[in-house]
């Protein structure tokens, strides 16, 4: 049997008095494309960060491809690539140096070629040796995507990846998402708006106030209308404290 | 819960009366220093309590890091606040005693220096708590700092002692521990007990206060959210 | 093996950044010069005065310059949340600490070497016959300072007013280092050198280093965690 890509069991996380996650369990199979929906502060980001073991849950456990990340966070993180709206890039270093650093931290063999290939794939051949500080927002985003997936992660996590992207970078990201899905990578994406509805999503998971409210399958048009309904209507689920 | 606090307060009050009696009636007046030596009892006892408090803070912080239970953070924070008060008491009463006896307000001997440094560590700890926004982060960061502070308090004391033995200076302090009259010992012990009880009482009150502050805060946040939704 | 190569990667990253901009070293050196200048005007810097206050002045310059440098140490990591990027890599977080600490140590030692030369040059302070021991004392003292400083820089980077927070937390914690380093330096440069005193304080420095490097390694994960 193949291990599930992500298993979150009864995860609970408190920030002070506020529960960011309240008893969340989620299982993502290999090759699935799961979208986490919810308002700002519903716990999507925290859930992603619990998966990557950046956040230590107060209770509950996480396994990534069969690896218990509490026990062996490094082996869990090896399999993860995170694309977020922050770029994680060092502005003082060039594009190539940024990727090289990432390659060395991941212990990638033949780093030079992999880095060169990733740079040309991101369309950054010409500016590869210029410091990132001078890059446009779109270029930085392209580099950030190249960086997050340089080590060929089995599991790609995306945290509001479309926020602040220019049109070109957004198209590139959609293209990448299609490629990854086709290549059988597992994708978990958190977002609060579905304007750039991704394609090929296998499952939608709706979070509110740190809980999984409901989940469904289907295409993105149906999901969009269902999510809009949640945001505007359904008084029973939107009244009350939310974070 | 409230009962415990009342009993503690009452006990502290009684012990304080007993301490005053022991200090001013029982214990003999010191020959060379005279009446001003009476300050010694509160001075020394508050230092001991203040010093023990940093290890209490450190202990609560370790428990917090292990358990991730907010209660331990509240306990650590409150112990630090009260500990800082006791140490301040010590630092203020010290010069009042020193001036008439030694002729100077302050001397950089090992104990004074260590107390001063520890006081600064307390202040750094308390300032850090004010300057970190997220409660969860505040708890973690201040816990780490308190561990460093507790270890460092020991190191500072040792280093200072070695320094003074390396370079013998005109020793002004000295003899007050040596050959203490039995009644003086009694007075010191009772004062120590009184201050320790007072510490625990204040500590308990501080914890409760912090808890109510937090519930008020969270209630306010909920109310704000409701208001926003109504609009 | 993996641990050390990752530590080296993080260290090299900091060296490369510093090599590009030279921000930290330049500001530390300028600051050191200013302190020396102020010293000259505040005290009449005759040979007697230098003998007496020189070691203390040197270490105060080192500490203040170091505070300046270490305040910057996590500022670069905050931009674009690059630190989170490091934390997401399959590295032990201890290697992040060690990499940053070694970078700080290196920059500090470089700045201190230059300040020491300038000091000797400007005040005609004879350091050269005893430079070997001075190097050992400086290394041990700076190691202790950088180890606690790097950890606390990571702590204070999370606060409002982090530039103030770092000195308030750090100076009381490194007082044993300052004390032992100043006494050892003074003994080293005394006429004639007080070897016995010096050999008393050098092990104290080493012990401080061992205690606080260990403690920092044990607690750094808690500082980084989100």
Residues of A within 8 A of C221 (CB-CB) are none
Q: What is the mean pLDDT of chain B?
A: 85
Radius of gyration of chain C (CA): 18
Residues A20 and A54 in one domain: yes
Residues A73 and A166 in one domain: yes
Mean pLDDT of C22-39: 90
User: Three-class SS string for A227-238?
Assistant: HHHHHHCCHHHH
Residue A201 belongs to a domain: yes
Please report which confidence band the pLDDT of residue A243 belongs to, taking 50, 70 and 90 as the band edges.
very low
Residues A53 and A158 in one domain: yes
Residues A238 and A162 in one domain: yes
Task: Give CA C96 to chain center in angstroms.
Answer: 18
CA distance C67 to C181: 17
pLDDT higher than 50, residue B170: no
Please report which confidence band the pLDDT of residue B175 belongs to, taking 50, 70 and 90 as the band edges.
very low
Q: Of the candidates C5, C80, C87, which has its C-beta nearest A86's C-beta?
A: C80
Give me the residues paired with residue A157 across strands.
Answer: A82, A188
Which pLDDT score, from 0 to 100, does residue A225 have?
80
Query: Which of A131, A152, A173 is where one domain is finished?
Result: A152
Mutation site for B-interface testing, chosen from C171, C173, C226 by largest number of B Cβ within 10 Å:
C173
- Please answer yes or no on whether B70 and A16 come within 8 Å at the CB atom: yes
Q: Give the phi and the psi of residue A21 in degrees, each rounded to 5.
A: -135, 130
Which pLDDT score, from 0 to 100, does residue A82 have?
93
Q: Of the candidates B135, B226, B229, which has its C-beta nearest A15's C-beta?
A: B135
Residue A135 belongs to a domain: yes
Residues A204 and A112 in one domain: no
Which pLDDT score, from 0 to 100, does residue A240 have?
39
Which pLDDT score, from 0 to 100, does residue B224 have?
84
pLDDT higher than 50, residue C164: yes
Q: Look at C34-48, C56-70, C174-188 and tell me which has the smallest mean pLDDT.
A: C34-48
pLDDT higher than 50, residue B202: yes
Residues A147 and A196 in one domain: no
Find all residues with CB under 8 Å of A51, minimum gap 6, and list them: A6, A8, A62, A64, A69, A80, A155, A157, A188
Residue range A123-176, pLDDT digits in tens: 888 888 999 999 988 889 889 999 998 998 999 999 988 887 778 888 888 888
Residue A85 belongs to a domain: no
Torsion of CA B20, B22, B28, B31, to 10 degrees: -50
Q: Which helix (H) or strand (E) holds A175?
A: helix A167-182
Domain count, chain A: 2
Are A60 and A89 in contact by the 8 Å Cβ rule? The answer is no
Per cent of chain C over pLDDT 70 is 99
How many residues are recorded in chain C?
226
Residues A103 and A163 in one domain: no
H-type helices in chain B, by residue range?
2-21, 39-67, 70-102, 110-131, 135-166, 182-230
- Cα torsion A167, A173, A175, A177: sign: negative
Q: Look at A235-239, C110-114, C144-148 and tell me which has the smallest mean pLDDT.
A: A235-239
Residue A196 belongs to a domain: yes
Residue A84 belongs to a domain: no
Residues A157 and A132 in one domain: no
Residue A212 belongs to a domain: yes
Q: Of the candidates C9, C20, C82, which has its C-beta nearest A105's C-beta?
A: C9
Residue A86 belongs to a domain: no
Residues of C within 8 A of A92 (CB-CB) are 16-17, 20-21, 76
Residue range B111-139, pLDDT digits in tens: 788 889 999 999 999 999 999 988 889 99
- Counting as contact any 3 or more CB pairs under 8 A, the partners of B are A, C
Residue A48 belongs to a domain: yes
- Compare C41 and C184 and report the one with higher pLDDT: C184
Mean pLDDT of B182-211: 90
Which pLDDT score, from 0 to 100, does residue B56 have?
95
Residue range A180-199, pLDDT digits in tens: 888 889 999 998 877 766 77
Which pLDDT score, from 0 to 100, does residue B1 have?
52
C window 64-83, beta carbon within 8 A of A: 76, 79-82
Q: What is the mean pLDDT of chain C?
A: 90
Nearest CA in chain C to B121: C172
Are B181 and B28 in contact by the 8 Å Cβ rule? The answer is yes
B window 138-157, beta carbon within 8 A of C: 140-141, 143-145, 147-149, 151-152, 155-156
CATH of the domain at A6: 3.40.50.300
Please report which confidence band the pLDDT of residue B2 belongs to, taking 50, 70 and 90 as the band edges.
low
Query: Which of A152, A180, A204 is where one domain is finished?
Result: A152
Residues A18 and A119 in one domain: no
Which pLDDT score, from 0 to 100, does residue A90 have?
93
**pTM assigned to the model:** 0.89
Query: Which of A152, A171, A197 is where one domain is finished?
Result: A152
Q: In what order do the strands lie in the sheet with A155-159?
A: A80-84, A155-159, A186-191, A33-37, A203-208, A211-216
- Please answer yes or no on whether B136 and A15 come within 8 Å at the CB atom: yes
- Compare C15 and C53 and report the one with higher pLDDT: C15
Mean pLDDT of A85-109: 91
Q: What token pair was written down for A182? A: 């086709």
Q: Look at A50-54, B10-14, C21-25, C124-128 and tell me which has the smallest mean pLDDT.
A: C124-128
- Counting as contact any 3 or more CB pairs under 8 A, the partners of C are A, B
Collect all residues from C whose CB is shorter than 8 A from any CB in B.
Answer: 148, 151-152, 155-156, 158-161, 165, 168-169, 171-173, 175-176, 179-180, 183, 197, 200, 204, 208, 211-212, 215, 219, 222-223, 225
- Cα torsion A87, A93, A96, A98: sign: negative
Mean pLDDT of B80-89: 94
Mean pLDDT of B192-202: 93
Residue range B7-57, pLDDT digits in tens: 888 888 999 989 888 888 887 777 677 777 888 888 889 999 999 999 999
Which pLDDT score, from 0 to 100, does residue B97 have?
84
Domain span at residue A142 reads 91-152
Residues A234 and A191 in one domain: yes
Are A210 and A22 in contact by the 8 Å Cβ rule? The answer is yes
| Angle in degrees, CA C171, C174, C179, rounded to 5 | 110
Nearest CA in chain B to A232: B229
Residues A239 and A160 in one domain: yes
Which pLDDT score, from 0 to 100, does residue B171 have?
41
Which pLDDT score, from 0 to 100, does residue A198 have?
77
Mean pLDDT of C154-171: 92
How many residues are recorded in chain A?
243
Residue range A57-71, pLDDT digits in tens: 888 889 998 888 888
- Please answer yes or no on whether A14 and B136 come within 8 Å at the CB atom: yes
pLDDT higher than 90, residue B73: yes
Please report which confidence band the pLDDT of residue B169 belongs to, taking 50, 70 and 90 as the band edges.
very low
Q: What token pair was written down for C114? A: 């230059």
Q: What token pair was written down for B75? A: 């306990």
Residue range A15-47, pLDDT digits in tens: 766 778 888 999 999 989 999 988 888 889 899
Please report which confidence band the pLDDT of residue A210 belongs to, taking 50, 70 and 90 as the band edges.
confident
Torsion of CA A131, A134, A137, A142, to 10 degrees: -30
Residues A157 and A240 in one domain: yes
Q: What's the ipTM?
A: 0.90
């Amino acid at each position: 049997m193949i291990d599930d890509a992500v298993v979150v069991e009864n995860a609970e996380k408190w920030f002070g008095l506020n529960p960011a996650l309240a008893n969340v369990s989620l299982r993502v199979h290999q090759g699935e494309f799961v979208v986490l929906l919810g308002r700002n502060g519903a716990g999507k980001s925290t859930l992603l960060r619990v998966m990557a073991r950046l956040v230590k849950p107060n209770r509950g456990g996480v396994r990534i491809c069969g690896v218990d990340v509490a026990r062996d966070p490094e082996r869990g993180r090896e399999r993860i690539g995170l694309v977020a709206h922050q770029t994680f890039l060092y502005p003082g270093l060039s594009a190539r140096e940024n990727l090289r650093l990432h390659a060395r931290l991941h212990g990638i063999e033949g780093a030079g070629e992999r880095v060169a290939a990733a740079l040309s794939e991101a369309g950054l051949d010409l500016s590869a040796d210029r410091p990132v500080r001078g890059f446009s927002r779109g270029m930085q985003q392209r580099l950030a995507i190249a960086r997050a997936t340089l080590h060929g992660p089995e599991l790609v996590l995306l945290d509001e990846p479309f926020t602040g992207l220019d049109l070109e970078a957004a198209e590139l990201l959609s293209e990448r998402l299609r490629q990854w899905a086709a290549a059988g990578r597992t994708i978990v994406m958190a977002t609060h708006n579905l304007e750039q509805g991704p394609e090929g999503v296998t499952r939608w998971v709706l979070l509110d106030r740190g809980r999984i409210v409901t989940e469904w399958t289907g295409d993105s048009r149906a999901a969009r209308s269902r999510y809009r309904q949640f945001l505007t209507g359904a008084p029973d689920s939107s009244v009350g404290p939310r974070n | 819960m409230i009962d415990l606090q009342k009993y503690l307060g009452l006990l502290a009050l009684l012990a304080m009366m007993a301490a005053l009696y022991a200090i001013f009636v029982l214990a003999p007046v010191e020959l060379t220093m005279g009446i001003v030596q009476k300050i010694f009892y509160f001075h020394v006892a508050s230092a001991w309590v203040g010093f023990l408090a940093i290890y209490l803070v450190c202990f609560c912080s370790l428990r917090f890091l292990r358990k991730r239970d907010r209660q331990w953070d509240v306990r650590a924070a409150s112990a630090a606040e009260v500990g800082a008060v006791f140490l301040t008491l010590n630092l203020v009463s010290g010069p009042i005693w020193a001036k008439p006896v030694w002729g100077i307000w302050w001397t950089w001997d090992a104990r004074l220096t260590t107390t001063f440094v520890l006081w600064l560590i307390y202040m750094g700890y308390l300032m850090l708590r004010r300057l970190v926004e997220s409660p969860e982060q505040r708890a973690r960061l201040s816990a780490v700092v308190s561990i460093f502070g507790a270890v460092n308090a020991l190191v500072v004391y040792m280093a200072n002692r070695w320094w003074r033995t390396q370079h013998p200076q005109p020793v002004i302090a000295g003899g007050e521990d040596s050959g203490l009259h039995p009644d003086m010992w009694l007075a010191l012990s009772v004062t120590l007990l009184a201050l320790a009880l007072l510490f625990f009482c204040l500590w308990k009150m501080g914890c409760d206060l912090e808890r109510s502050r937090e519930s008020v805060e969270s209630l306010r946040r909920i109310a704000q959210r409701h208001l926003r939704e109504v609009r | 093996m993996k641990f050390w190569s990752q530590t080296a990667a993080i260290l090299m990253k900091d060296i490369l950044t510093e090599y590009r901009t030279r921000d930290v070293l330049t500001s530390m050196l300028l600051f050191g010069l200013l302190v020396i200048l102020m010293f000259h005007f505040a005290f009449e810097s005759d040979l007697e005065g230098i003998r007496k206050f020189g070691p203390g002045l040197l270490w105060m310059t080192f500490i203040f310059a170091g505070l300046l440098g270490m305040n910057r140490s996590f500022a670069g990591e905050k931009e674009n949340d690059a630190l989170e990027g490091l934390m997401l890599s399959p590295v032990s977080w201890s290697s992040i600490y060690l990499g940053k600490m070694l970078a700080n140590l290196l920059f500090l030692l470089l700045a201190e070497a230059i300040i020491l030369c300038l000091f000797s040059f400007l005040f005609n302070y004879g350091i050269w016959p005893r430079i070997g021991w001075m190097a050992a004392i400086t290394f041990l003292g700076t190691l202790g300072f950088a180890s606690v400083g790097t950890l606390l820089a990571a702590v204070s980077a999370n606060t409002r007013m982090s530039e103030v927070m770092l000195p308030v937390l750090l100076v009381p914690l490194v007082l044993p280092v300052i004390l032992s380093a100043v006494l050892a330096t003074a003994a080293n440069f005394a006429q004639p050198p007080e070897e016995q005193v010096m050999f008393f304080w050098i092990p104290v420095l080493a012990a401080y280093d061992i205690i606080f490097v260990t403690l920092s390694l044990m607690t750094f994960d808690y500082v980084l965690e989100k």
